[in-house]
A and B are shown apart, each in its own frame.
Chain A
Amino acid sequence: MTLTRRRFLTGAAALGAAAFGAAACTSPTTANPGRITLWYTSNGLSEQVLGEAVRRFAADKLTPSQVSGELKQRLLAALAGEAYLPDITMLGDDIATYFADTDHFVDLNTLGAAESKPEYLPWKWQAGASPDGFQLGFPVDVGPAALYYRHDLFAQAGLPSEPDDVAAAVPTWDDYFDFGVQAQKKLPGRYLITDTKTVFTYSLAQEPRKYFDRDNHYLDDQSQVRRAWDRAVKAFRLGLTAGYAGSQSQNGESIDRHAAWNSGKELSFVNASWISGELKQSAPATAGKWRVCRAPGGAGNQGGSFLAITKYCPDPHAAFEMVKWLQSPANQPQTYLELGLFPPSPSVYTDPRLLAPEPFFGGQVTMDVFSKTAREVQPVYFSPWDITISDTYTDALTTVESAGKDPEQAWNDARSSVERLLRRQGVLS
């Protein structure tokens, strides 16, 4: 008995040591050595296109790997440990947070990306490049914003209800607010605006500048931010916002908002193209009653992803061929039809598949609205700190909306906490 136990212990210890030793010896830089691994998020790339790509690039062993949960967390961990890295990875619209660390990636310009440039929206292409011209991201999709509204309810209230008429009635945010006040008189207890956060976000998305200039200098004159802020506060004061921001989960889903879509409580909202999937899924009973038109205040973009190649990729040229093929104008329509990811290539906007009337939007050709907006979006510099700063401002707005904080006080507090944050991060001295 003693002997067997000892033998067992020794054996177990040896096994444990072997396991540790093995783990220490095999630490590949890329996730699948000898293959080209592509990390993408759920609903980030068309499965059909990926399937074709795997067959097409069988010689280079393309291995797509859908990352569950946050791709960014996994990528940061892999980059920090310089192990198990993907060869191609998807990056979100926070691509600017990687601009300071481009030494982990391949400059797509060195792989001949410039040839592809004319095929894509210039502002989107530019958004994937760091201020010093390092082309980090290859465009995947964009998120042109539009005004979504309930055609049937607008008509019922005797308001303009055809897309062109609505767009003509609300060219600016102020006109939209006036329109909202009017609509609320006729349709009491309903809302035209989701919350102050969306007013702020989409209003700022229409500005040519946000918080930083392209040299990463903090714009001390925040008049464009203040303008978006004042608009949000105005909408709140007029009683036009529904205040759904607080109940939104981190994915932006809101049970109240979904319910309001179904019940017709939310008459309209400004949002990016990608919300249409959620709208269709959450409010199937309202099919045919929605329309889209140009958003008040002009063209803006919210969201959109990129593909990047890490410098650990043994064959960046092959990887770039894959990226280029996956996101080629020929494959973008499929991605749009399958996932609603809006194509970044203007040439795709005339594809007959995308010009088909949409039953959910009452037979409207929504591509007409979105493509016009996508073309008009102004290039804007998105700094590595933009998301945190935006969150600080929208948090403050939500506090005004939900907790009754004085707007002026909230503005001053938000501004000083932004500056404090930037000082801590060494951006401001």
Chain B
Amino acid sequence: MTAILPAPATAPARHAPVSRRKRWRYLPQYLAIAPFFLLFAVFGIYPVLYSLYLALQRWDGVGPMKFVGLENFRFLLSDATFWESIGNTLVIWVMSTVPMTVLALLIALGLNSSVRFKGVLRVAYFLPNVTSIVAMSLVFGSIFSSDFGILNWVLGLVGIDHVQWLTDPWAIRGAISIMIIWRWTGYNAIIFLAGLQALPPDVFEAARIDGAGPVQTFFRITLPLLRPVLLFSVVMSAISGMQIFTESQVLLGNRGGPDGAGLTMVLYFYNTAFADNDFGYGAAIAWGIFVVVVLFSILNWRLVQRPARGQVKETVR
């Protein structure tokens, strides 16, 4: 701790080298940072440790707990529903992140070229991100409604058959993805825009002098230079993608709809712990999610570390 504090050499003679006094010297600073650590201990570390303890118990939330050892984890490994929920989460993540990144990039490029009312557009694109997810899901519920929804009405106008958005397993995943895309595209577009505006203009000038067309400039210069920002957005969407919950829950209920198509990992955890009141197993699922997220982060990190340009495009796509 002392190592990162200013070296004592700057004020050699002001304090007597009494270690007791020295220890108390920094008390105000420690007190100043204490609230965070206290709160973190109470609301962070304690629940984490308690959930680990809980994962070894069978508990309905009211009566006495019963120690079952690793039984919950053993059950988790052979729990087809859990594996399906992992699959659903990943599928929904891919289905949402890919179009979202492309869309956001297009919007950012559009905003970056001189358009009028840039400020207004930026606010407009950010708006979906700050809208309450519950309110949004209710609105989307009526949009996706299969017989009387707006979306199917529009599809009907174009001559496409009704899609059973909330009952067909793949349409469900699509519907959830659309909600995620709607929510995060603007957010990422703003981030991309910031990245675009930070790019050095002389590089583009040099490319233009060398005779590069707009498409060439985009793929050879803009995209590689934008790589750190793109990676940031992919990592952020991976983090939020692993936590998809509210969209599914409000749209389809606690059990994730027909065939459990919208049952994400977090929704499965919520349903087990708080709807079925199986807190022990719920805690075990939470730890299962933790492991999946760790593995997914390692994978992401490996992809991010690749320096080659070809790999960058692959990550983006």
Cα(A85)–Cα(B252), bound, Å: 32
Q: Residue A68 at the B interface, CB < 8 A? A: no
Interface contact tally, CB-CB below 8 A = 116
In the bound complex, do residue B147 and residue A245 qualify as a contact, i.e. CB atoms below 8 Å apart?
no
In the bound complex, do residue B31 and residue A10 qualify as a contact, i.e. CB atoms below 8 Å apart?
yes
Q: Residue B167 at the A interface, CB < 8 A? A: yes
In the bound complex, do residue B167 and residue A101 qualify as a contact, i.e. CB atoms below 8 Å apart?
no
Q: Which of B59-67, B120-128, B188-196, B301-309 contacts A (4 or more CB under 8 A)?
A: B59-67
Q: Residue A409 at the B interface, CB < 8 A? A: no
In the bound complex, do residue B259 and residue A250 qualify as a contact, i.e. CB atoms below 8 Å apart?
no
Q: Residue B32 at the A interface, CB < 8 A? A: yes
Cα(A395)–Cα(B81), bound, Å: 12
Interface residues on B, range: 35 or more
In the bound complex, do residue A424 and residue B75 qualify as a contact, i.e. CB atoms below 8 Å apart?
yes
Q: Residue A429 at the B interface, CB < 8 A? A: no
Cα(A6)–Cα(B31), bound, Å: 10
In the bound complex, do residue B62 and residue A395 qualify as a contact, i.e. CB atoms below 8 Å apart?
no
Q: Which of B10-18, B218-226, B276-284, B285-293 contacts A (4 or more CB under 8 A)?
A: B276-284
Cα(A80)–Cα(B261), bound, Å: 33
Report A252 CB to chain B, min CB distance, Å: 9
In the bound complex, do residue A9 and residue B31 qualify as a contact, i.e. CB atoms below 8 Å apart?
yes
Closest to A254 in B: B145
Type the 1/0 row for A74-109, where 1 means its CB is closer than 8 Å to any CB of B: 001001100000000000000001101100100000
In the bound complex, do residue A76 and residue B32 qualify as a contact, i.e. CB atoms below 8 Å apart?
no
Closest to B147 in A: A256
Cα(A13)–Cα(B147), bound, Å: 60
Report A385 CB to chain B, min CB distance, Å: 9
Cα(A387)–Cα(B254), bound, Å: 13
Given contacts A104-B62, A255-B142, A403-B258, contact A250 B148 (CB under 8 A): no
Cα(A256)–Cα(B257), bound, Å: 15
Residues of B within 8 A of A395 (CB): 255, 258, 260
Residues of A within 8 A of B260 (CB): 395, 399
Residues of A within 8 A of B172 (CB): 246
Contact among B38, B168, B276 with A403 in the assembled complex (CB-CB below 8 Å) = B168
List residues 354-411 of chain A with CB under 8 A from any CB of chain B: 384, 387-388, 391, 395, 398-399, 401-403, 405
In the bound complex, do residue B147 and residue A265 qualify as a contact, i.e. CB atoms below 8 Å apart?
yes
Contact among A259, A391, A401 with B148 in the assembled complex (CB-CB below 8 Å) = A259
Q: Residue B249 at the A interface, CB < 8 A? A: yes
Contact among A9, A97, A248 with B32 in the assembled complex (CB-CB below 8 Å) = A9
List residues 168-202 of chain B with CB under 8 A from any CB of chain A: 168-169, 172
Q: Residue B166 at the A interface, CB < 8 A? A: yes
In the bound complex, do residue B145 and residue A405 qualify as a contact, i.e. CB atoms below 8 Å apart?
no
In the bound complex, do residue A9 and residue B28 qualify as a contact, i.e. CB atoms below 8 Å apart?
yes
Q: Residue B274 at the A interface, CB < 8 A? A: yes
In the bound complex, do residue B258 and residue A388 qualify as a contact, i.e. CB atoms below 8 Å apart?
no
Cα(A395)–Cα(B62), bound, Å: 27
Report A395 CB to chain B, min CB distance, Å: 6
Type the 1/0 row for B132-154, where 1 means its CB is closer than 8 Å to any CB of A: 00000000011001111100000
Q: Residue B213 at the A interface, CB < 8 A? A: no
Contact among B34, B249, B251, B261 with A13 in the assembled complex (CB-CB below 8 Å) = B34
Closest to A14 in B: B31
Residues of A within 8 A of B31 (CB): 9-10, 12-13
Report B247 CB to chain A, min CB distance, Å: 12
Cα(A10)–Cα(B27), bound, Å: 9
In the bound complex, do residue A250 and residue B254 qualify as a contact, i.e. CB atoms below 8 Å apart?
yes
Q: Residue A412 at the B interface, CB < 8 A? A: no
Report A410 CB to chain B, min CB distance, Å: 10
In the bound complex, do residue A250 and residue B66 qualify as a contact, i.e. CB atoms below 8 Å apart?
no
In the bound complex, do residue A246 and residue B166 qualify as a contact, i.e. CB atoms below 8 Å apart?
yes
In the bound complex, do residue B145 and residue A401 qualify as a contact, i.e. CB atoms below 8 Å apart?
no
Q: Residue B207 at the A interface, CB < 8 A? A: no
Residues of A within 8 A of B278 (CB): 425
Closest to B71 in A: A424
Residues of B within 8 A of A417 (CB): 81
In the bound complex, do residue A259 and residue B145 qualify as a contact, i.e. CB atoms below 8 Å apart?
yes
User: Given known contacts A10-B31, A425-B58, what 6 new A-B pairs fall within 8 Å (CB)?
Assistant: A9-B28, A100-B62, A255-B148, A399-B258, A399-B260, A405-B259
Q: Which residues of A contact B (CB under 8 A)?
A: 6, 9-10, 12-13, 16, 20, 70, 73, 76, 79-80, 97-98, 100-101, 104, 243, 245-250, 255-256, 259-260, 263, 265, 384, 387-388, 391, 395, 398-399, 401-403, 405, 417, 420, 424-426
A-B contact pairs, 12 of them (CB 8 A): A9-B28, A76-B62, A79-B62, A101-B60, A243-B167, A247-B145, A247-B146, A249-B141, A255-B145, A388-B276, A391-B255, A402-B167
